[in-house]
Amino acid sequence: MSIKDAMKQYFQMRRETANKGLDFLFKTPILDNEELVIYEGKADEEEYISWKPVEIPFQQNIKNYLDMDLHDTIQDYFNSYWFADLDGFYINYYIKLHPVLPNNLNSYLKLINGYKKNHENKLDKVPIGIEGNGLTVVIDNKSGVVYLEDFERESFEPIADSIEILIKNLKLNN
């Protein structure tokens, strides 16, 4: 299964759950740019707007911006869908992966550069999200294995063999 297939399955599950009265699953705070292709309708009185996942119609090469190689699964993640939220429970963890929004690659590049500075200018592992207790979700840049990083303890706990497996197995309730 590809990352794109895992994401499609996840978004279908999210839509089915939202259709059961949990429409907040497809609402997000509106960003400065009201014209994002993922937005549907108008913002409500609380400045939230409905969104939908949209397949990305072109390939963006993150490697060009970082001047280094990234594991193919990271490239695939950022070239599958634009979306506001991809989160859920995996095993006993609440995982929130980094959103992929049109024209917003800079926020991810800033995250990577900050992470790199905190790790002796190396990217052996690449951040992709956060866990509910504040641990960083990272992908091993060589193997593609997904880990939870505890920065203070300098430890890494493997949680999934790949980002596809993690996304495929996310649940919306624990």
Per the structure, how many domains does the chain have? 1
Whether residue 20 lies inside any domain: the answer is: yes
Whether residue 98 lies inside any domain: the answer is: yes
| pLDDT tens column, 132-151 | 999 999 999 999 999 999 98
List the CATH number of the domain containing 80.
Answer: 3.40.1580.20
Whether residue 173 lies inside any domain: the answer is: no
| pLDDT tens column, 56-111 | 988 877 777 776 778 899 889 989 999 989 999 999 999 999 998 887 777 888 88
Q: CA torsion angle for 30, 103, 19, 14 (degrees, to 10)? A: -120
- DSSP single-letter state for residue 99: P
Whether residue 174 lies inside any domain: the answer is: no
Range of the domain at 109: 3-168
